[in-house]
Amino acid sequence: MPFISIEGPIFKDIAKKRELAKELTDAAIKAYDLPRESIVVIIRENLPENVGVGGTLVIDRKKPSDTAK
């Protein structure tokens, strides 16, 4: 049974989550040639204070518009 785990920022649009789960499932079905019911998708959402990029927490990164001021 394929298990797909994806991590990213929090997003509240449940329709987009449904679309993501469906598209990941469709890709796994195509790759593995298994029934839809055997594919598991887990979406993990991370707060910006729990993610670092280049040694800086995402919450502390300046937006491009912040530097123009």
Q: What is the CATH number of the domain that holds 30?
A: 3.30.429.10
Structural domains in the chain (count): 1
From the list 35, 40, 31, 36, the residue with the least C-alpha distance to 2 is 40
Q: Which domain does 33 fall in, by range? A: 3-67
pLDDT digits (tens, 9 = 90+) for 18-62: 999 999 999 999 999 999 999 999 999 999 999 999 999 999 998
From the list 62, 59, 61, 63, the residue with the least C-alpha distance to 48 is 59
What are the CA-CA distances from residue 66 to residues 17, 28, 29, 52, 60 (Å)? 30, 41, 44, 19, 12
What does pTM read for this prediction?
0.78
